[in-house]
Structure 1
């Protein structure tokens, strides 16, 4: 018996040693001796963008209803507040009245670089506000969103008393059914003038001819947002004057108005660097129009009705500057006004007019 124990003890010690060694090996090499029953998870990165869009879309549509009715009390309350803070009727455009000779224009994007109003500059400023004290009964503010494609909203837009468009959008026969062709005011960011017309440093006739679809509308130029905006905006003014164009009337957006408007929306939770052109003209319309209708204001790549993909603009798919403007957040604010009966946002197809 003693001899058997002497043989068994070394064997037992050897087996124990091997077990410990095997356990250390498996731990150090992260080996799982059993096959994993865990289901592989899809990468969150691949759907990160779409899930974020879905959240924004769902949030945006919370305040939206196709069955819209104007709330006169809410409209008057909001309009009165906006007018008291921003004074679009007297300040939206730079004029000889609000910007006298010898005064300084303070750029809203570069406040440390004032521009003195010389005689030459003073002479080309509007003599009076183009909006006066008139109030238009109905205004259509037309954004350039891809949601306008195949919308058949052209006739409805044209029926508005005053139509505002953004950044010289195309209005030819390809798009007329969806976006109409009537224009009373159109904006032109200097970036458009540089990209499409070489900053008006070369041939200028193509620029003048391209403006014909807008008829005798106001051409609103943000000449005094930044210093580099001024020269190209002045060239646009002088080009129209030199060519004897009797169509568009160029006027300059007032940086004082833009500062007030930015502050107004910041106080309501909009923290973007600056308001987009769409929000600027929508705000302007709320002061000068009794009934404000928005078209093409949908900043998402999916249609709200059936989630089909749509382009960024109704005429191309070029991306917007997301680091400057916060389009989804802006739309959220506008959709709240829609819910309150202050403005009417049109999404999807327009109904044919009653015969």
Structure 2
């Protein structure tokens, strides 16, 4: 059909006589046609069905934004946690390196290097610790009294990455426990006590001296996103604000949601995991070679000598919460199969 100048003028004249309602109606009609066309093309494409079944948190989820990980309810429902012993090795695993074997096992429970050490929203200025690389040698240092007189300090400090637990002090004990900390874990009772001291002039100096050495380290908060009780979360947050107020803010990291439940399933233990088991889990995710020191939950040493509970004080563990003997058997088994080196003897012999 040929469109003449006359017909074009008629159309233009007719358009000028349209009301606003007519114009809006035409625009809506055009928009509807375009939308129908687009959606029709989209649905005509091949579409793989996506499974929405509840699965344990996988490695792919570690690349999610922190907030997405923490709010990923589908991945962390309690009933989806698989109960099996991570220590049970299949014959096929002998062809894999031990580090890869355990790392893959831990991934099935939602633990990766990044997901186990989630960055907190408050960042220390200029401080960016490396938690996305593998370390050749790592030392996981407990607090057992067996470290007193061990002369393991030099050996511990020679490791590339050193993990300590629950704000264990090293001041005055360097000869036995080393002089450096790269990752320090902390539980609620200790964070609450330190926060109270930072707010109290009577013990503020003591708390400051204990916190200052880890300013350039990673501080990992356990049970940060576990569902109950909520007051623990609030207490941790209040302590972090106190650290910021007194210019003591380290690289804050927090455990993922339901980490405690998933650790119990991964290691097949009957009670809550202690800081020691959390520490060895972190090491298995980020280290090629691991040595453990100060993990010895007994009142007598290997030669029958009496031991205090901590190398720095004579505390005790809550047997209703942790089963240290059960966890120690795990460490012994890991040592026996050659995955870690569990050190319970002195590193240097006493000079006669």
Q: Is contact 1:86–1:261 with CA below 8 Å preserved after alignment?
A: no
Q: Unmatched 5+ residue regions in structure 1?
A: 1-70, 97-122
Paired residues for 1:86-235 under 5 Å: 86-95=110-119, 123-124=121-122, 132-173=131-172, 175-198=173-196, 200-203=198-201, 206-222=206-222, 223-225=224-226, 226-235=229-238
Quote how far apart the aligned CAs of 1:95 are.
4.1
Partner SS for 1:85: coil
- Tell me the matched-pair count: 249
Structure 1 length normalisation: TM-score? 0.64
Identify if the C-alpha distance between structure 1 residues 72 and 155 changes in structure 2 by more than 3 Å, giving closer, same or farther: farther
* Residue 259 of structure 1, aligned match among 255, 258, 261: 261
Structure 1 residue 289 and structure 2 residue 275: aligned? no
Identify if the C-alpha distance between structure 1 residues 72 and 294 changes in structure 2 by more than 3 Å, giving closer, same or farther: farther
Identify if the C-alpha distance between structure 1 residues 342 and 292 changes in structure 2 by more than 3 Å, giving closer, same or farther: same
Quote how far apart the aligned CAs of 1:288 are.
0.4
Partner SS for 1:124: coil
Greater RCO structure (CA 8 Å; 6+ sep): 1
Q: Distance in 2 between matches of 1:277 and 1:339?
A: 22
Q: Distance in 1 between matches of 2:176 and 2:131?
A: 31
Identify if the C-alpha distance between structure 1 residues 94 and 130 changes in structure 2 by more than 3 Å, giving closer, same or farther: same
Q: Is contact 1:143–1:294 with CA below 8 Å preserved after alignment?
A: yes
Paired residues for 1:57-68 under 5 Å: none
Residue of structure 2 equivalent to 1:244: 247
Q: Which structure has the bigger radius of gyration?
A: 1
Q: Distance in 1 between matches of 2:341 and 2:307?
A: 22
RMSD: 2.7
Partner SS for 2:260: helix
Partner SS for 2:258: helix
Q: Unmatched 5+ residue regions in structure 2?
A: 1-94
Q: Is contact 2:149–2:346 with CA below 8 Å preserved after alignment?
A: yes
Quote how far apart the aligned CAs of 1:206 are.
4.6
Residue of structure 1 equivalent to 2:318: 321
Q: Distance in 2 between matches of 1:265 and 1:217?
A: 27
Spell out, residue by residue over 1:239-288, the C-alpha distance to the aligned partner (whole angstroms, 9 max, x if none): 2222233x62222222333332221112xxx211x100110111110110
Q: Distance in 2 between matches of 1:311 and 1:341?
A: 29
